[in-house]
């Protein structure tokens, strides 16, 4: 059925997109009305139940969102910082309780106290200006540190846009096969978490015979604690856009879709402005610079669902379907968006392509390690003395990032959750053993992932953090597979009960639950959750002992 829905949604192409229409219908009240849903159902020839099923899934479309005027960040970094209760209390003097909603991570992890109002994000001391923000729509200036160790591929200014795009113009003078060879030489692996070869994806898509193909940028940076993709979109947007254009040329794709999370309104605006700039310079459209290459962009604003960071759920979302994970094969490069060959990569991955094409794949491969080439962006949260975005050569000792660039911790920290909710829970005692690359983290039983760092202070109970992870997964699960949907719920129920009374979690039951999640989940949401839980049970055994019956 989902393949049929993909075809129906694709009838109108990207110009009139069902998912986008649902977002437009929700603008005034926070949720589409039933009459509008019926009209969209008829227009796209999709069943009413399918349309309502999609709407009811997203945080910013579902009926419960009606009437919300301000949203408080409930991401992990703001939670461990302990800033949000006081923030909510201050907001309650200006809004009724039913007007206050929640958003999961606004990417303001460097200073916390984050909230969203009138399609803008605020943080730090901005709450002290809430009166003028409400009445005058005041905007504030966000500041965070940006630095690097080694080669600044993504953190160095790229200069005038017209000069920067000479890289793309030069690419159009070469056969796509030559560019693909350079990409293979680079060894570039996906920066979104899985670390999969980008060249393999592009070659697989290139080998498909379909005329219509897509390059989709997964800019749904939903990992609490991560804001490196947001940094690129807002401060280096043309690195991303040119990367997508080069990827399109290599794969033979005419369309680039940038799927940006709704929690990043500034990113949406800046990317749209950058695309308009390209159009004004005649770098988009048909037969670009008489090269025979056609390319056009579409920006889609997401509506609040972490699972859309999983590539197949993201594709279903664009199509207006409920964003459930698809069974593979077929893979997206064979049947992706609207059942057409599609390459999905995240922001940071795509933004590396201009450097590779300008300097050569071997130059990129010379940076970092043999298996983890190039650089990696790292997001440091507000527990550091100098929080911000830092770029380091792969293989850089983690301690140099934390204590050198980050300036160390401003208060005692016992662990860091690195790589998002599904990343490893790294005790500070293990920092000496780690270098910033995929293999070092995997060898030590952790996961580099998105390389976001959320600190857990000494006085924050690990049991509460683990309950938070289970609850996060339960809320964000697409619900398609039982292990994720039910297992995450059973997990937080057990941990909550253990903190309330005489109940103790049976260690065998917990281990069985984690094994079921790992082996039975369709995607990394349920399958990855056990990693930080196991890390905590290993390294914080004595702290957790009162809650477990071994």
CA–CA distances in Å: residue 343 to residues 205, 209, 238, 314: 7, 14, 19, 12
CATH of the domain at 481: 1.20.1440.230
Within this chain, do residues 39 and 105 fall inside the same structural domain, yes or no?
no
Within this chain, do residues 47 and 170 fall inside the same structural domain, yes or no?
no
> Is the predicted pLDDT of residue 452 greater than 90, yes or no?
yes
> Is the predicted pLDDT of residue 136 greater than 90, yes or no?
no
Within this chain, do residues 333 and 421 fall inside the same structural domain, yes or no?
no
CA–CA distances in Å: residue 167 to residues 163, 179, 202, 253, 359: 8, 12, 19, 19, 10
Q: Six-digit token pair at 58?
A: 């997203």
> Can you tell me the mean pLDDT for 74-100?
97
CATH of the domain at 27: 1.10.10
Q: Which of 141-145, 189-193, 503-507 has the lowest mean pLDDT?
A: 189-193
> Can you tell me the mean pLDDT for 449-467?
97
Within this chain, do residues 196 and 262 fall inside the same structural domain, yes or no?
yes
Q: Which one, of 217, 220, 450, lies nearest residue 342 by Cα?
A: 217
> Is the predicted pLDDT of residue 110 greater than 50, yes or no?
yes
> DSSP character for 320?
T
Per-residue pLDDT band at 406 (split at 50, 70, 90): very high
pLDDT digits 0-9 by tens, 214-251: 999 999 998 999 999 999 999 999 999 999 999 999 99
In a domain, 290, yes or no: yes
> Can you tell me the mean pLDDT for 501-506?
92
> DSSP character for 366?
T
Beta bridge mates, 116: 71, 121
> DSSP character for 332?
T
Q: Six-digit token pair at 470?
A: 């289970």
pLDDT digits 0-9 by tens, 195-215: 789 999 999 999 999 999 999
In a domain, 494, yes or no: yes
pLDDT digits 0-9 by tens, 359-385: 999 999 999 999 999 999 999 999 999
In a domain, 370, yes or no: no
pLDDT digits 0-9 by tens, 244-274: 999 999 999 999 999 999 999 999 999 999 9
> Can you tell me the mean pLDDT for 439-451?
94
> Can you tell me the mean pLDDT for 44-48?
90
In a domain, 206, yes or no: yes
Q: Six-digit token pair at 426?
A: 């790294």
Q: Six-digit token pair at 241?
A: 């856009």
CA distance linking residue 270 with residue 283, whole number of Å: 18
- Alpha-helical (H) ranges within 281-412 are 311-318, 347-351, 353-359, 361-365, 398-399
> Is the predicted pLDDT of residue 94 greater than 70, yes or no?
yes
Higher pLDDT, 550 or 167: 167
In a domain, 243, yes or no: yes
> Is the predicted pLDDT of residue 494 greater than 80, yes or no?
yes
> Is the predicted pLDDT of residue 3 greater than 80, yes or no?
no
Within this chain, do residues 247 and 324 fall inside the same structural domain, yes or no?
yes
In a domain, 293, yes or no: yes
In a domain, 332, yes or no: yes
In a domain, 49, yes or no: yes
pLDDT digits 0-9 by tens, 285-326: 999 999 999 999 999 999 999 999 999 999 999 999 999 999
> Is the predicted pLDDT of residue 497 greater than 90, yes or no?
yes
Within this chain, do residues 409 and 429 fall inside the same structural domain, yes or no?
yes
The mean pLDDT of the chain is 95
Within this chain, do residues 125 and 206 fall inside the same structural domain, yes or no?
no
Q: Which one, of 325, 301, 326, 323, lies nearest residue 57 by Cα?
A: 323
- CB under 8 A, 24+ apart: contacts of 90-96: 90/127, 90/130, 91/115, 91/127, 91/130, 94/70, 94/130, 94/131, 94/134, 95/69, 95/70
Within this chain, do residues 150 and 139 fall inside the same structural domain, yes or no?
no
Asked if 491 and 513 touch (Cβ cutoff 8 Å), the reply is yes
Per-residue pLDDT band at 12 (split at 50, 70, 90): confident
Within this chain, do residues 90 and 115 fall inside the same structural domain, yes or no?
yes
φ, ψ at 490 (rounded to 5°):
-60, -35
The label of the residue with tokens 């920092």 reads 431
Range of the domain at 418: 375-457
CA distance linking residue 224 with residue 107, whole number of Å: 7
CA–CA distances in Å: residue 522 to residues 102, 304, 335, 341, 483: 27, 21, 18, 21, 9
CA–CA distances in Å: residue 455 to residues 378, 384, 388: 13, 9, 13
CA distance linking residue 389 with residue 452, whole number of Å: 9
CA distance linking residue 33 with residue 404, whole number of Å: 53
Asked if 6 and 319 touch (Cβ cutoff 8 Å), the reply is yes
Domain count, the chain: 5
Which pLDDT belongs to residue 471?
A: 96
Strands 505-506 and 548-549: parallel
> Can you tell me the mean pLDDT for 522-550?
95
> DSSP character for 99?
G
Which pLDDT belongs to residue 153?
A: 97
Q: Which one, of 331, 160, 342, 172, lies nearest residue 251 by Cα?
A: 342
The CA radius of gyration of the chain, in Å to the nearest whole number, is 23
Within this chain, do residues 122 and 184 fall inside the same structural domain, yes or no?
no
> Is the predicted pLDDT of residue 1 greater than 70, yes or no?
no
Which pLDDT belongs to residue 36?
A: 94
Which pLDDT belongs to residue 159?
A: 92
Domain boundary among 127, 143, 159: 143
CATH of the domain at 314: 3.40.50.11540
Domain boundary among 457, 485, 512: 457
Beta bridge mates, 453: 380, 418
Domain boundary among 365, 390, 423: 365
Question: What ranges make up the beta strands (E) of 199-285?
Answer: 214-219, 255-260
Torsion-angle region of residue 39: left (phi > 0), alpha (psi -120 to 50) or beta? alpha
CATH of the domain at 439: 3.10.20.600
Q: Which of 5-19, 116-130, 509-523 has the lowest mean pLDDT?
A: 5-19
Within this chain, do residues 466 and 428 fall inside the same structural domain, yes or no?
no
Question: What ranges make up the beta strands (E) of 104-228?
Answer: 115-117, 120-122, 145-149, 214-219
Within this chain, do residues 58 and 74 fall inside the same structural domain, yes or no?
no
CATH of the domain at 132: 3.40.30.10
Which percentage of the chain shows pLDDT scores above 70?
100
CB under 8 Å to 289, separation ≥6 — which residues? 169, 172, 282, 283
Per-residue pLDDT band at 421 (split at 50, 70, 90): very high
CA–CA distances in Å: residue 543 to residues 18, 337, 347, 538, 539: 49, 47, 38, 11, 9
Which pLDDT belongs to residue 2?
A: 67
């Amino acid at each position: 059925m989902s393949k049929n829905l993909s075809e129906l949604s694709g009838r109108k192409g990207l110009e009139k997109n069902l998912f986008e229409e649902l977002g437009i219908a929700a603008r005034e009240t926070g949720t589409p009305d039933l009459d509008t849903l019926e009209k969209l159902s008829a227009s796209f020839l999709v069943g009413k139940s399918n349309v309502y099923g999609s709407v009811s899934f997203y945080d910013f479309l579902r009926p419960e969102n009606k009437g919300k005027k301000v949203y408080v960040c409930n991401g992990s970094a703001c939670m461990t910082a302990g800033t949000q209760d006081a923030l909510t209390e201050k907001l309650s003097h200006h809004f009724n309780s039913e007007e206050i909603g929640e958003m999961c991570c606004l990417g303001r992890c460097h200073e916390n106290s984050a909230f969203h109002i009138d399609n803008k994000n605020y943080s730090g001391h901005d709450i002290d200006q809430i009166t003028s923000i409400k009445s005058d729509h005041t905007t504030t200036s966000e500041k965070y540190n940006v630095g690097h160790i080694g080669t600044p591929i993504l953190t160095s200014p790229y200069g005038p846009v017209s000069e920067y795009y000479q890289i793309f113009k030069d690419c159009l003078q070469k056969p796509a096969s030559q560019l693909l060879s350079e990409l293979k030489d680079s060894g570039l692996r996906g920066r979104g978490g899985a670390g999969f070869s980008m060249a393999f994806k592009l070659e697989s898509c290139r080998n498909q015979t379909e005329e219509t193909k897509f390059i989709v940028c997964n800019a749904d940076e939903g990992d609490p604690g991560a804001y490196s993709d947001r940094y690129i979109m807002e401060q280096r947007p043309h690195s991303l856009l040119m990367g997508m254009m080069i990827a399109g040329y290599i794969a033979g794709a005419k369309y680039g879709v940038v799927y940006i999370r709704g929690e990043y309104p500034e990113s949406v605006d800046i990317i749209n402005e950058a695309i308009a700039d390209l159009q004004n310079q005649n770098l988009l459209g048909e037969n670009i610079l008489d090269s025979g290459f056609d390319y056009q962009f579409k920006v889609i604003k997401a509506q609040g669902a972490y699972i859309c960071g999983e590539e197949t759920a993201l594709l279903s979302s664009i199509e207006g379907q409920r964003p459930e994970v698809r069974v593979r094969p077929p893979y997206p490069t064979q049947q992706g968006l609207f059942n057409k060959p599609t390459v999905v990569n995240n922001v940071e991955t795509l933004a590396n392509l201009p450097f590779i094409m300008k300097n050569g794949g071997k130059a990129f491969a010379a940076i970092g390690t043999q298996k983890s080439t190039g650089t990696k962006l790292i997001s440091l949260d507000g527990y550091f003395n100098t929080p911000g975005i830092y770029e380091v050569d792969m293989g850089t000792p983690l301690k140099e990032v934390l204590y050198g660039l980050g300036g160390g911790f401003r208060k005692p920290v016992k662990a860091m959750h690195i790589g998002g909710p599904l990343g490893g829970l790294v005790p500070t005692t293990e920092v000496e053993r780690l270098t910033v690359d995929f293999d070092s983290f995997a060898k030590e039983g952790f996961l580099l992932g998105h390389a976001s760092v959320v600190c857990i202070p000494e006085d924050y109970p690990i049991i509460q953090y683990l309950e938070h992870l289970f609850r996060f997964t339960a809320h964000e699960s697409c619900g398609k597979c039982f292990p994720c949907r039910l297992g995450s719920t059973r997990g937080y129920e057990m941990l909550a009960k253990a903190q309330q009374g005489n109940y103790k979690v049976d260690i065998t039951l917990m281990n069985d639950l984690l094994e079921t999640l790992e082996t039975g989940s369709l995607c990394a949401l349920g399958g990855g959750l056990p990693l930080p839980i196991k890390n905590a049970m290993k390294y914080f055994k004595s702290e957790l002992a009162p809650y477990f019956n071994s």
